[in-house]
Amino acid sequence: MKMLRVALTGFHHESNTFAPVPASLDRFLAAGTFESDELVRVYGESQATLGGFLEIRSLPNLEVVPLNHADLNPMGTITQEAFEVLVGRMIEQLKENGPWDVVLLALHGAAVAEHQPDADGEIIERVRRLVGDDVVVGVALDMHANVSERMIRNSTVINAYLTNPHIDPRPRARQVAELSIATARGEIQPVIAHVSPPVAINILRQGTSDWPMSHLISLANEMEHQHGVLSVSVIEGFPYADVPELGMSFIVITDHDQDLANHLAQSLAAAAWDLRNDFLGDGTDIDIALQRAMNSPRGPVVLLDVGDNVGGGSPADSTHVLAAAQRLKVRNLFHSLCDPGCVADCHKAGVGVNIALNVGAKTDQLHGKPVKISGTILHLDDGRFEDTGITHGGFRFFNAGPRALVHTDDDHFILLTSRPMGNTSRAELTSVGLDPLSLKVIVAKGVHSPRGAFEPIAAEMIQLNTPGCTSADLSTLSYKLRRRPMFPFEPEATFSL
């Protein structure tokens, strides 16, 4: 069997074009861009996409070469500098270390750079241009990708996760890697169909265990077992990136049978279109949810701050829920806020000291006003913690930047972080000495991403109708570039195959 040379590289960002904080080069570098051995150390055992790519090192007759990978948590649009430096590095490394039989790319699919709205399409095209048409380019995407025709055209194999919260990036990436290798060995001839009906699905309806997503996922799973079908992806799309390719889409890959691929992708798209009214969503009012939590016989009730969904690019400093909790005198509540200035004040003061602070809402008005708190500093650290259990996206190592936990006089546990954190791990709480089970209310800044961690212990999880740049109410966002007409923005939109 011929020895194959396989490159692993990636650039991972979900860009919320409505979010106030740009994805700049310094933020990418601070978050961690990893190369070669370090990439293996960080991702090898993880459940993330690169973990799935790295699994193929155990297969015979492959030389697997990890190159660079950049990953930054979701926030605003990527700066031109960040994109050009990091993608430039990727292309340079591919050039210097080639030639290749296979290039495996870990992308998100909803990356938007200020000069390249279809940033993922641009990356795949640059890779394709470099390696030529004979090299296999395998791409693994997040389920929130907004997939362009350019992404499809330049990929040999491309798929996305099938779970939200995302607990399958590793096996899905392994599928891309295995199909790519089989293609390079001439064992299969993948052909791709991609159909994107004009539908943006509400973030509240994106859970894959719940109707209507559960239905589409089960159709996809059945199709993937059909003879000749290599891979089926149901892609939810990312409604907070204002780009022409915004929307749901379906990718089917078959072994040299374009008609079958087209037929299956079209039938998934038609099924989604028929369900479009079931993809509308609407959250619970903050006060009603807090009252329900206070009256709950047991805790913790987890309140999902949808408008400040850090996994969707929000700044993690919204105070709408905290202000209401103060007003309603809710006790025994956990709430995190990104506020590096207040963290610095706490670190100066020290553990055990009583402190008064104005916390949160420092990035813009949309996410509320700073809230006055006073209380005792319980814990200070550098914000690094590890979660070896199941987490959204398969992440294991977390870095919140320097942190401070303040127990306020009105019995709130306020965890101040220096980086935006989306509350996707129970270890975030245990690492500062809090037992999640002893809390009455946990405010989690996310929609689906906190579920993997908190659903097993929550008395109830409530999605809130909170304002913010990830609001469930898409009518509050002003789009310029998306397709028109599109459901639900233009309810009269039509779709025909």
User: Using CB under 5 A as the criterion, which residues of the chain lie in contact with Zn ion when the complex forms?
Assistant: 142, 144
Which residue type does 324 have? A
Q: In this structure, are residues 313 and 449 in contact, taking their beta carbons and an 8 Å threshold? A: no
Cα 20 from Cα 16, distance rounded (Å): 9
Cβ atoms within 10 A of the Cβ of 258, count? 11
Q: Which is nearer to Zn ion, 31 or 91 (CB)?
A: 31
Instruction: Please state the closest distance from residue 148 (CB atom) to Zn ion, in A.
Output: 17
Structure token digits, residue 271: 């099924």
Which residue type does 177 have? A
Instruction: Please state the closest distance from residue 442 (CB atom) to Zn ion, in A.
Output: 21
Q: Which is nearer to Zn ion, 144 or 174 (CB)?
A: 144
Instruction: Please state the closest distance from residue 99 (CB atom) to Zn ion, in A.
Output: 33
Instruction: Please state the closest distance from residue 238 (CB atom) to Zn ion, in A.
Output: 7
Q: Which is nearer to Zn ion, 144 or 320 (CB)?
A: 144
Cα 161 from Cα 150, distance rounded (Å): 20
Cα 366 from Cα 355, distance rounded (Å): 27
Q: Indicate if the alpha-carbon torsion angle 76, 383, 70, 171 is positive or negative.
A: negative
- Is the backbone peptide bond immediately before 198 cis, with ω within 30 degrees of 0? no
Q: In this structure, are residues 468 and 203 in contact, taking their beta carbons and an 8 Å threshold? A: no
Q: Which is nearer to Zn ion, 144 or 276 (CB)?
A: 144
Q: Which is nearer to Zn ion, 67 or 304 (CB)?
A: 304
Q: In this structure, are residues 286 and 467 in contact, taking their beta carbons and an 8 Å threshold? A: no
Q: Which is nearer to Zn ion, 74 or 299 (CB)?
A: 74
Q: Which is nearer to Zn ion, 141 or 179 (CB)?
A: 141
Cα 476 from Cα 471, distance rounded (Å): 8
Cα 412 from Cα 405, distance rounded (Å): 10
Give residues with Cβ within 8 angstroms of 327, minimum separation 6.
none
Instruction: Please state the closest distance from residue 145 (CB atom) to Zn ion, in A.
Output: 8
Give residues with Cβ within 8 angstroms of 430, minimum separation 6.
436
Q: Distance between alpha carbon 329 and the CA centroid of its chain, in Å?
A: 33
Write out the E strands in 320-359.
333-338, 354-359
Instruction: Please state the closest distance from residue 449 (CB atom) to Zn ion, in A.
Output: 8
Q: Which is nearer to Zn ion, 300 or 468 (CB)?
A: 468
Residue number, nearest CB to Zn ion: 144
Cα 417 from Cα 93, distance rounded (Å): 35
Q: CA neighbours within 13 Å on the CB side: how many for 362?
A: 17
Instruction: Please state the closest distance from residue 403 (CB atom) to Zn ion, in A.
Output: 25
- Residue (of 203, 6, 13, 231) closest to 99 by Cα position: 6
| Cα→Cα distances 469→17, 241, 312, 336, 364, Å | 9, 11, 9, 18, 10
Q: Which is nearer to Zn ion, 311 or 468 (CB)?
A: 311
Instruction: Please state the closest distance from residue 166 (CB atom) to Zn ion, in A.
Output: 6
Q: Which is nearer to Zn ion, 140 or 301 (CB)?
A: 140
Q: Which is nearer to Zn ion, 142 or 242 (CB)?
A: 142
Instruction: Please state the closest distance from residue 208 (CB atom) to Zn ion, in A.
Output: 11
Angle among Cα 132, 137, 139 to the nearest 5 degrees reads 150
Cα 462 from Cα 286, distance rounded (Å): 10
Instruction: Please state the closest distance from residue 473 (CB atom) to Zn ion, in A.
Output: 20
Instruction: Please state the closest distance from residue 197 (CB atom) to Zn ion, in A.
Output: 19
Instruction: Please state the closest distance from residue 294 (CB atom) to Zn ion, in A.
Output: 32
- Residue (of 342, 424, 401, 429) closest to 377 by Cα position: 342
Cα 194 from Cα 145, distance rounded (Å): 13
Q: Which is nearer to Zn ion, 159 or 418 (CB)?
A: 159
